[in-house]
Amino acid sequence: MTERNLFLIFPRNMTSDSLKRLRDWFRANAAELPWRPADLDAPRDPYAVWISETMLQQTQVSTVRDYFTRWMERFPDVETLAQAEEAEVFKYWQGLGYYSRARNILKTARIVASLQRKMPETRKELEALPGIGAYTAGAILSLAYHKREAILDGNLVRIFSRLYELDFLPTDKAEKSCAEIYWEYAREVADSPKAYMHNEALMELGRTVCKAKNPLCENCPLRSECRAFMDGRTAEFPPTKKHTEKSWHGTVLVVESADDKILAVIGGQKFLDKQLALPHFESTRGAAVALPAKAEDYINADEIDSMDYRGTFRHSITVHKIECDILYIKLKTKSSKAHLPMQDKADAKSSFEWVEKAKALETFANSFSLKALKKVMDPFSNVDTRNNGFPPFGRE
């Protein structure tokens, strides 16, 4: 089916009157947010837009508020961020997940700072930067520079699906045009001097009114155009996205040397690659009652002074639902003398560091490692073992 034929089936019906009602609704209902100026018509700092929109991807607005404020206090502009170390950036990102985003933010900041200019003003230039895709580029161009550029996030997908009763998602692969149809509707809304207002109003509408569950249709300024509302089928749209979850059970090692240092690894791990993390590997349940053979890739069994099982914790990283046993191992040797067998391998993908135990909770920037450390440092602590994954479309 061609794109042209698809639009004969799914015609446009967003009128100038519809858009005016949307703008009026937004002016009356826009929430106060740290990245949103009081004057809704004011151009914004493109750096602040970039950071806030990246944080908001698959993360709740209520969560991002404090993260954004702390980030901007420490990294108020591209130049300041570009000079930061990756470990510190990760600390300010800790808890948001998707650490590759934080790494890409730092890479992009360094590129932009090296060119001694502000954020680019064209979609082509923005999308060429690490971690900036079509949505983020559109948000920067629209909200910061007031250009007629479209955006498409989960909120707009939900609204368009209900407005036009689209029974497919942009990610569906049955038709190559699925994503393009949604983007065409987004471009229609953005084809206006008030594109910045329309884009942000739709995101706000999706977050507060056209919600995934129990939408407040009677409060919606677009209900007279909404086919799903008029047909009493709101709950059917958008279609349910199939999520593939993978269970993973493993063991985390908290290895403490005789001089009170904790073993940390970078690279060669199942999760948190290129980050400072605790050694971990896949294992069966109950494997940690004795020293797992895999643990001897990291430490020499002859140097062990004591070994203690410290329970389990649950965690989520992308599609992985993780359950880990914690093995607390004390060595008889000091960190400078400890033999780490993996370092003897010619093809070793891991590097190791010893972290002062007193500073460990400040040094590790990922909650995966921190959950295990807290269990060891305070075995009676109430470690949060809840699923810390994110809703599929964020901004709820």
pLDDT at residue number 241: 78
pLDDT at residue number 159: 98
pLDDT at 277 over 60: yes
Q: Are residues 220 and 317 in the same domain?
A: no
Looking at the domain assignment, is residue 383 inside a domain?
Answer: no
Looking at the domain assignment, is residue 388 inside a domain?
Answer: no
Q: Are residues 83 and 188 in the same domain?
A: yes
Report how far residue 188's alpha carbon sits from residue 15's, in angstroms, rounded to the nearest whole number.
Answer: 10
Query: For residues 391 and 211, is the Cβ–Cβ distance under 8 A?
Result: no
Q: Are residues 260 and 227 in the same domain?
A: no
pLDDT at residue number 285: 84
Looking at the domain assignment, is residue 386 inside a domain?
Answer: no
At which of 185, 204, 236 does a domain end? 236
Q: Are residues 200 and 296 in the same domain?
A: no
pLDDT at 21 over 90: yes
Looking at the domain assignment, is residue 389 inside a domain?
Answer: no
Q: Are residues 215 and 273 in the same domain?
A: no
pLDDT at 175 over 50: yes
pLDDT at residue number 13: 65
Looking at the domain assignment, is residue 396 inside a domain?
Answer: no
Q: Per-residue pLDDT averaged across 69-94, rounded?
A: 96
Q: How confident is the model at residue 274 (pLDDT cuts 50, 70, 90)?
A: confident
Looking at the domain assignment, is residue 241 inside a domain?
Answer: no
pLDDT at residue number 74: 98
Q: In whole numbers, what is the pLDDT of the chain averaged over residues?
A: 89
Query: For residues 98 and 78, is the Cβ–Cβ distance under 8 A?
Result: no
Q: Are residues 256 and 163 in the same domain?
A: no
pLDDT at residue number 117: 77
Q: How confident is the model at residue 176 (pLDDT cuts 50, 70, 90)?
A: low
Q: Per-residue pLDDT averaged across 80-103, rounded?
A: 93
How many angstroms separate the Cα of 159 from the Cα of each of 89, 186, 226, 237, 357? 34, 10, 9, 9, 50
Q: Are residues 218 and 261 in the same domain?
A: no
At which of 198, 218, 236 does a domain end? 236
pLDDT at 388 over 70: no
pLDDT digits (tens, 9 = 90+) for 325-371: 999 999 999 999 999 998 887 667 889 999 999 999 999 989 999 99
Q: Are residues 264 and 195 in the same domain?
A: no
Question: Is 294 exposed, middle or buried (CB count within 10 Å of its CB: 0-12, 13-18, 19+)?
Answer: middle
Q: Any bridge partners for residue 68, and if so which? A: none
Question: Is 319 exposed, middle or buried (CB count within 10 Å of its CB: 0-12, 13-18, 19+)?
Answer: exposed
Q: How confident is the model at residue 305 (pLDDT cuts 50, 70, 90)?
A: very high
Looking at the domain assignment, is residue 254 inside a domain?
Answer: yes
pLDDT at 395 over 80: no
Q: Per-residue pLDDT averaged across 251-264, rounded?
A: 96
Query: For residues 251 and 287, is the Cβ–Cβ distance under 8 A?
Result: yes
At which of 205, 236, 267 does a domain end? 236
Report how far residue 364's alpha carbon sits from residue 360's, in angstroms, rounded to the nearest whole number.
Answer: 6
| Short-list 237, 357, 337, 255, CA closest to 296 | 255
pLDDT at residue number 379: 56
pLDDT digits (tens, 9 = 90+) for 51-74: 999 999 988 999 999 999 999 999
Q: How confident is the model at residue 4 (pLDDT cuts 50, 70, 90)?
A: very low
337: CATH: 3.90.79.10
pLDDT at residue number 3: 46
Q: Are residues 169 and 280 in the same domain?
A: no
Q: Per-residue pLDDT averaged across 162-187, rounded?
A: 87
pLDDT at residue number 392: 31
pLDDT digits (tens, 9 = 90+) for 93-136: 998 988 889 999 999 999 999 987 789 999 999 999 999 999 99
Looking at the domain assignment, is residue 90 inside a domain?
Answer: yes
pLDDT at residue number 287: 67
Structural domain including 360 reads: 246-377
- Say which residues have a Cβ less than 8 Å from residue 368's Cβ, sequence separation at least 6: 271, 272, 277, 278, 280, 315, 317, 322
Q: Are residues 217 and 109 in the same domain?
A: yes
pLDDT digits (tens, 9 = 90+) for 283-297: 988 766 688 999 999
More confident residue, 313 or 288: 313
Catalytic residues: 53
Q: Are residues 171 and 190 in the same domain?
A: yes
What's the 3-state SS for the chain?
CCHHHHHHHCCCCCCHHHHHHHHHHHHHHCCCCCCCCCCCCCCCCHHHHHHHHHHHCCCCHHHHHHHHHHHHHHCCCHHHHHCCCHHHHHHHHCCCCCHHHHHHHHHHHHHHHHCCCCCCCCHHHHHCCCCCCHHHHHHHHHHHCCCCCCCCCHHHHHHHHHHHCCCCCCCCCCCCCHHHHHHHHHHHHHCCCCHHHHHHHHHHHHHHCCCCCCCCHHHCCCCCCCHHHHCCCHHHCCCCCCCCCEEEEEEEEEEECCCCEEEEEECCCCCCCCCEECCEEECCCCHHHCCCHHHHHCCCHHHEEEEEEEEEEEEEECCEEEEEEEEEEEECCCCCCCCCHHHHCCCCCCEEEEEEHHHHHHHCCCHHHHHHHHHHHCCCCCCCCCCCCCCCCCCC
Whole-number percent of the chain with pLDDT over 90: 73
208: CATH: 1.10.340.30
The total of structural domains in the chain comes to 2
Q: Are residues 12 and 106 in the same domain?
A: yes
